[in-house]
Amino acid sequence: MSDDFQTQDQMIEGALRTLFRPEDAPTALSKRILASAAKPAPRRRTPMLGMAGVAVAAAALITASVVHEHRVELRQEQLAGERLAYALQLTTQDLNWAEQKVNQDLAVGPGKPEER
């Protein structure tokens, strides 16, 4: 039984050695590799381009956020101005009404309040 297993092991190992026999690479592959090697470091250029792209994108993002913040501040200032103007308008109306009332009272003169 163990002899059978040993024979089977040997058979598999033998078949694997045959299956994994080293093979020559195609001639075209050497040419391809040498041609690729002759190019001026293409693999270095790609990361540099990528990094430049990331830097440009980051700069654009920062600029956009600064511009946006500036716009928001301007809008807030504008709104604050509008609120102030409205408040002043209300105050002016109140003051006008009060002045008018006082003038009316003065015109009527001293008397009973219910006569007014």
Partner 1 sequence: MVEGGLSWHAMRMDAVQFERALATHQRMVFSIALHSLRDRTLAEDVTQDVFMALLQHGAEVDSDEHLVYWLRRVTTRRCIDQLRRQRWRRWLPLMESDAVEVATQNASGSDPLLSGRLERTLRGLAPIERVALVLRYQEDLDAAEIGKVLGLSSDAVNKHLRRALAQMKVRLSGAARPQSAQAACRPQD
Residue 41 touches partner 1, criterion: CB under 8 A: yes
Is 112 among the residues that bind partner 1 (CB under 8 A)?
Answer: no
Among 9, 82, 94, 99, binds partner 1 (CB under 8 A): 9
State the Cα–Cα distance between residues 88 and 18, nearest whole angstrom. 98
Q: Does 35 contact partner 1 by CB under 8 A? A: yes
Task: Record the tokens describing residue 83, joined without a space.
Answer: 């609120």
Least distance between partner 1 and beta carbon 6 (Å): 12
Least gap, CB of 54 to partner 1 (angstroms): 22
CA-only gyration radius of the chain, Å: 46
85 binds partner 1 (CB under 8 A): no
Token pair belonging to 28: 């075209």
- CB of residue 29 vs partner 1: minimum separation in angstroms? 5
Binding to partner 1 by residue 1, rule CB under 8 A? no
Q: Which residues of 24-57 are buried (b: 16+ CB within 10 A; e: fewer)?
A: eeeeeeeeeeeeeeeeeeeeeeeeeeeeeeeeee
For partner 1, the closer of residues 17 and 112 by Cβ is: 17
C-alpha to C-alpha distance for 105 and 116, rounded to whole angstroms: 8
What does the binding site for partner 1 look like in residue numbers (CB under 8 A)? 8-9, 11-26, 29-38, 40-41, 43-44
